Structure 1
Amino acid sequence: MQQKQEAWKMSAMQIGRALVLLIFALMLSGCASRGATPIAALRYENPAKPVDGGKKLLIFLRGIGGDHTIFKNKGLVDQVIERGLPFDMVAPDAHFGYYKEETLGRRLYEDIILPARQQGYTEIWVAGTSMGGLGALFLQIEHPDAVDGIILLSPFLGWDATVNEIRDAGGLARWEPGPHTVEDWQRYLWSWIKQHREQGKRVPPIYLGYGASDFFANSQDLLAGALPVGRTTIIEGGHTYGTLRRLWGTFLDKLEPELRR
C-alpha cells in the first residue's frame, strides 16, 4: 500500500513538473494561438431555466490543457442540468493566447457578458479551473461589476516566489507589495487580493475549491486565508479532472440555495 502511495506521489510530481514546463514553454513561445475576435464559445441551453424573467448564466473558463469542450465532456454541464439549477451555460474558448495578448477580460466582457445582459440575463456567475481561475480573477479586477459570483476550481495563481515572499513577510496583512504595475501580474494580483481583504470592499462572493494534494496548493492555501470563513472547500485529490468533477458537485450542493434564489 505504501509503495502504491509513493508511486502516486511521484506521478503527481511528474505531472506537476510537466504542467509547469508547458506553461513556461507557452509563455516564452511566440507561436501561442492568437485570440480571435469575438471569442468563440460553446453554449448549453438549460431546460430548467425560468420561462419568464430571472435568466441566469454560468460562464466556464478552461485551463491551459485540453479545450473548452471539457465542461461538457467531463460532466460539469450535466451536473448543473441534473440538479435542475436554473442556469444556461457558456464555455468560451479562452485559450492561453488571450492571456498572452492580455485581451481575455475585454473579450469576455464585450463578447459574452454585455450581450448576455442585453438578452435579459439578470445574474451571471463565472467558474474558472486552473488557468481559468486566474482568468476569472483578472476579469473581476478589470470589470468589477461584470459578474455576480465567482467559483475558483484548483486555480493557478502564479509561481511560488511571490507567495513565499508574502509568507516570509508574515502573511498578506504584513506584506508590502512595493511599486509595481500590471506587467508584474503576480504582484499586481496579490496586491489586489490584499486590498480587498483589508478594505472589505463589496465584491461578488468568491468561492475557492482545490485538492489537498494539488501542486499549486501553496498559493491556494494563501488565498483561502484571505477569503471569508466558509468560502473555501478542500477535498482529497490533486490537480486532475477527477478532483475537478468532485469539487464541482460539492460546490453545486453547497451553493444550491444561493444559486436557486
Structure 2
Amino acid sequence: MLLMLPGAMNTPWHLKENGLIQSLRERNLPVDVLALDAHADLYLDRVGIEQLLHRTLDEARLHGYRRIWLLGISLGGSGAMICATQRAAEIEGMFLLAPFLGTRGIIAEVEASGGLASWQAGKIESRDHERALLEQIRCSQIGLDQFPVVYLGFGSEDRYRGASMLLLDRIPSHCAIVKSGGHDWETWKVLWNAMLDKQPFAM
C-alpha cells in the first residue's frame, strides 16, 4: 500500500488531477493507494497529525498490508517523516517530493551549523514542532538498513530546497533526483515519474 500525504492547501483530488495515481496505473504496479486529506491545520497541532498517521497505519496493518510505502509532498513530507521516524520497522520505503521540514529560518540554522550531523537542537519548546522533527530526523537511522529506503526529489529552483539539501548526504545518491523547476506540481510530476522509473517497488 502507498499512503499519500499531499501538501498544504492540497487534497487527494489534486493527487489524482495531476496524474500521480495514473502514473502508477500506467506501469501496472500492484499498489493500492490511500490518499489522506491531511489539511495544514493538522500540522499546526502535532498531536493531530500523529494520531491520524498512527490510526491509518494501524488500520492498514489490520487489513493485512505488510509492505507499506509513504509519499509526502511539501508539508506532507513532514507527515511522512513523522511516521517513518516513529514506526520505521513497519515502513518499507518512502518518497519525498520537495519535503517541507521547517521554515527557512530553522533550515538556515541547521545549514550554518554544518548540517544535520553537527547541528544541536538545544531546548525544544512544546510547540516547536519543526525543531522537534529535525531532531528526530537527526537522531534517526535514515540512510541505513534499519530505516525505510528514501527516494528524494526536488526542483533546483525550489524556494524550500534547503530542507531537501540537508537530506542529500544521508541517502544514497541513486535515490536522489534533482530537476529544473520550483515548488509546484509541474516539477513534482516530473520527479514522481523519474522515481517510478527507478522501479522502487521491485524489492
Above 0.5 in TM-score? yes
Q: Quote the offset at 1:171 in angstroms.
A: 2.5
Change (3 A) 1:199 1:115: closer
Q: Find the counterpart in structure 2 of residue 170 from structure 1.
A: 114
Q: Find the counterpart in structure 2 of residue 208 from structure 1.
A: 152
Per-residue displacement from partner, 1:2-51 (whole Å, max 9, x unpaired)?
xxxxxxxxxxxxxxxxxxxxxxxxxxxxxxxxxxxxxxxxxxxxxxxxxx
Q: Indicate whether 1:188 and 2:132 are aligned.
A: yes
Q: Quote the offset at 1:252 in angstroms.
A: 0.4
Q: Quote the offset at 1:197 in angstroms.
A: 5.5
Q: Indicate whether 1:78 and 2:41 are aligned.
A: no
Amino acid at match of 2:139: Q
Q: Quote the offset at 1:181 in angstroms.
A: 4.7
Q: Find the counterpart in structure 2 of residue 134 from structure 1.
A: 78
Q: Find the counterpart in structure 2 of residue 115 from structure 1.
A: 59
Q: Which contiguous aligned blocks of 4+ residues in structure 1 show a shift greater than 6 angstroms? A: none
8 Å CA contact 2:156, 2:180 repeated in 1: yes
Change (3 A) 1:173 1:108: closer
CA distance in 2, matches of 1:198, 1:64: 24
TM-score by length of 2: 0.90
Q: Quote the offset at 1:204 in angstroms.
A: 0.9
SS of corresponding position for 1:206: strand
1:106 to 33, 37, 51: 51
Let me know the Cα RMSD of the aligned residues: 2.0
CA distance in 2, matches of 1:198, 1:124: 17
5 Å-filtered alignment, 1:1-261, equals 57-102=1-46, 103-110=48-55, 112-181=56-125, 183-196=127-140, 202-254=146-198, 256=199, 258-261=200-203
Q: Quote the offset at 1:179 in angstroms.
A: 2.6
In structure 1, runs of 5+ residues without a counterpart are 1-56
CA distance in 1, matches of 2:18, 2:7: 13
Q: Quote the offset at 1:193 in angstroms.
A: 2.2
TM-score by length of 1: 0.71
8 Å CA contact 1:126, 1:151 repeated in 2: yes
SS of corresponding position for 1:66: coil
Give the number of the structure whose alpha-carbon radius of gyration is greater: 1
